[in-house]
Amino acid sequence: MPAEHVDVLIVGAGLSGVGAACHLQDRCPDKTVAILEARGATGGTWDLFRYPGVRSDSDMFTLGYSFRPWTDPKAIAAGTDILDYIRATARERGVDRLVRFHHRVVEAAWDSATARWTVRAERSDTGGTVELTCSFLYCCTGYYRYDAGHTPDLPGLDRFAGRVVHPQQWPADLDHRGQRVAVVGSGATAVTIVPAMAAEAEHVTMVQRSPSWVMTLPTADPLGDLARRWLPRRLALPLIRWKNVLLATLIFQLSRRAPGLMRSRLTAAARRQLPPGYPVETHFAPRYAPWDQRLCFVPDGDLFRAISAGRASVVTDAIDTFTETGLRLASGTEVPADIVVTATGLAVLALGGMKLTVDGREVDIADTVAYKGMMLSGVPNFALALGYTNASWTLKCDLTSMYVCRLVNHLDTHGYQVCTPLPPPSGPLQPLIDLKSGYVLRSLDRLPKQGAAAPWRLYQNYPRDLLMMRHGSVADEGVRFHRVSAPAAVR
C-alpha cells in the first residue's frame, strides 16, 4: 500500500497549527491538508498548562487570529478562555476534522527526486507507526518539550517533606488553601502564580535568584471600549489590534533605544504600587536592561497588590539548600513552606523533537540559517511557525501561514514543485533569538542562526514583517524555485 499523500501536512494542533489550517483552507482551497497531533486534544500550550491563574501575558487582540478577532473586551484572558477560543475556531472552520490525534511525528525525510516528504509518526494510542507523504511540511510544534519542564539542580530538594510541583505538570488534586507556598523563579509563570495562589494560601513567597522587570498592564482597554462603542465592528477590531501592535512595538523599541528611561519608569511604577519603603531596587530592578530578557507583565498590578496586602512576599537571594520544612537562603534566612513550586522554566525543543533528513542526510538545525524567520536554508518545502518573543506569538504565525499559502500557490502557478531557501551569500551569522533569558541561552546551540540582513535577519517587528511577508516578493534572492523531472503523481 503506498502511503497516504496530502499536499500540506501540519504538525501540531495548538494555536498556530489550527490557525495554519484555517489560512490554508481560505487561501489554498484545492489543497489537501492534514494535521498530526501528538496529544489527544487540540490547544497545545493552553490545554497543557493548568496552574492557578494561567493566562495570556500579551493582549488577546494581538494573540487572537487576524481572521477571527478576539471580541471580549478583556485584553488579558484566562488560559481556559484561550483554549475555548482555539477550539471554537477549529470547530467553526471544520479544522478539527483534519486533526489526527495521538500521532507524534518522529521523522520527516525529503526526497528530491519525487519532491516529497515522507513523514513517520508514532501512535500513542495503538503503539503503531504511520507513514504519510506530503508535498509541503509545516511544523507548528511550538518551542518547548511537553513531557517535562526545566528544573535546575536545586540543592537538597529531595529532603523537602512537602509537595514539589512544576507548573507544567500541575496536579489536579493540589489544594493550596491555607498552605505556605514557596515559588522558585522570577519569570512570567512565577509572577502569574504568586498572586493567584496568594488569594487562598496562608502566604506565598517568591524566591528569586535575581529580579525581572515587571510591568503592569491594564486588563481593561478604555480606548478599545470607545472604539467598540463608536465604530462599526469591522473597523473597531482591526483598529484595537493595531493600537496594541504599536504599543508593544513602542515599549520594545523604547527599551532597546532608551534603556535608562525605561529602567527609571519601570522602577518608579513599581514603587508607586508597593508600600512606602519597600526595597524596589533589590526585588524589582534587575541589572540587565528591560527587554534584554522577556519583560514580565502583570494585569492590573496583581503581583504588587498581593505584596502590598501582605499575602505574598519576594526574597532575592541564592538558595543554600532545601530543608525538610522549606528552604534556606545564602543569607541564612529560612523560608518555611508546605508546597514548593518550581517555576524554573521550559525546556526548549526545536521542531517537537522531529528528525529531519534531506536526501538521506540528517539536518542539524543549528547549521541552518532561518529565512524570513520561517524556513531553513537547504530544507525544501518546509516551514515552521515561530512567533515573536517581544510581541504576541500569533502576529508572526499568522504572517507565516499566509506566506506558506503564497508559496504553495506560487509553486502551482509557475509549475514548480520545489522551493529551497538558500543561506546568506556572506556576512556573520548570529543567534536566532536576541534575548538573554535562561531558556533562550540554554538552547541557542540547538536553534537555527540568522543572517545580518533581510531576508535572513529576524527583526521581530510586525509592521516590517507585514510588508515583507504580505506584500514582498516570494521569489527573492533567498530562495530557489525549481522543477523536478519526475515528480511523484499526486495521490
Ligand X SMILES: Cc1cc2nc3c(=O)[nH]c(=O)nc-3n(C[C@H](O)[C@H](O)[C@H](O)COP(=O)(O)OP(=O)(O)OC[C@H]3O[C@@H](n4cnc5c(N)ncnc54)[C@H](O)[C@@H]3O)c2cc1C
Q: Which is nearer to ligand X, 7 or 57 (CB)?
A: 57
CB atoms inside a 10 Å sphere around CB 384: 27
Q: Does 12 bind ligand X (CB under 6 A)?
A: yes
- Listed in order, strand segments (DSSP E) in 112-242 are 116-123, 129-139, 163-165, 180-184, 203-208, 214-217
> 109 pairs with which residues across the strands?
118, 357
Q: Does 353 bind ligand X (CB under 6 A)?
A: yes
The answer to whether 154 and 322 are in contact (CB under 8 A) is: yes
Q: Which is nearer to ligand X, 387 or 421 (CB)?
A: 387
Q: Which is nearer to ligand X, 11 or 303 (CB)?
A: 11
CB of 304 to ligand X, least distance (A): 19
What DSSP state is assigned to residue 467?
Answer: I
Q: Which is nearer to ligand X, 338 or 398 (CB)?
A: 398
**Per-position x/- string for 102-141, each x denoting binding to ligand X as judged by CB under 6 A, each - no binding:** --xx----------------------------------xx
Q: Does 384 bind ligand X (CB under 6 A)?
A: no
CB of 328 to ligand X, least distance (A): 29
> 316 pairs with which residues across the strands?
208
Contacting ligand X within 393-422 (CB under 6 A): 393
Contacting ligand X within 184-203 (CB under 6 A): 189
The answer to whether 59 and 15 are in contact (CB under 8 A) is: no
Query: What nine digits make up the cell of 228?
Result: 467598540
Q: Does 424 bind ligand X (CB under 6 A)?
A: no
Selected from 21, 33, 36, 399, the binder of ligand X by CB under 6 A is 36
> Which positions ≥6 away from 227 have C-beta within 8 Å?
235, 236, 239, 240, 243
Distance in angstroms between the alpha carbons of the first and the last residue of the chain? 12
Q: Which is nearer to ligand X, 18 or 340 (CB)?
A: 18
**Per-position x/- string for 62-101, each x denoting binding to ligand X as judged by CB under 6 A, each - no binding:** -x--------------------------------------
| Piece of 274-282, 322-330, 387-395, 411-419 that binds ligand X (CB under 6 A) | 387-395
CA–CA dist 170, 178 (Å, integer) = 18
Please report how many Cα atoms fall inside a 13 Å half-sphere around the Cα of residue 431, on the Cβ side.
Answer: 11
Q: Does 37 bind ligand X (CB under 6 A)?
A: yes
Selected from 34, 56, 138, 381, the binder of ligand X by CB under 6 A is 56
How many residues contact ligand X, by CB under 6 A? Answer: 33
Q: Which is nearer to ligand X, 14 or 290 (CB)?
A: 14
| Piece of 35-43, 89-97, 236-244, 355-363 that binds ligand X (CB under 6 A) | 35-43
CA–CA dist 297, 303 (Å, integer) = 10
Q: Which is nearer to ligand X, 13 or 399 (CB)?
A: 13
Query: What nine digits make up the cell of 331?
Result: 543569607
Q: Which is nearer to ligand X, 105 or 327 (CB)?
A: 105
Q: Which is nearer to ligand X, 61 or 160 (CB)?
A: 61
CB of 124 to ligand X, least distance (A): 10
Backbone angles phi, psi at 279, to 5 degrees: -75, 75
CB atoms inside a 10 Å sphere around CB 424: 21
Q: What does the angle CA 380 – CA 472 – CA 357 come to, to the nearest 5 degrees?
A: 10
CB of 106 to ligand X, least distance (A): 7
Helices 393-413 and 15-27: crossing angle, nearest 10°? 30
Selected from 23, 39, 294, 396, the binder of ligand X by CB under 6 A is 39
CB of 55 to ligand X, least distance (A): 7
Q: Is residue 371 classed as helix, strand or coil in its secondary structure?
A: strand
Q: Does 13 bind ligand X (CB under 6 A)?
A: yes
The answer to whether 245 and 394 are in contact (CB under 8 A) is: no
Q: Does 142 bind ligand X (CB under 6 A)?
A: yes
Which amino acid type is present at position 289?
A
Residues 37-64: b if buried by 16+ CB within 10 A, e if exposed: bbbeebbbbbbbbbbbbbbbbbbbbbbb
CB of 29 to ligand X, least distance (A): 23
Footprint of ligand X (CB under 6 A): 11-17, 36-39, 44-45, 49, 54, 56-58, 63, 104-105, 140-142, 146, 189, 352-354, 385, 387, 392-393
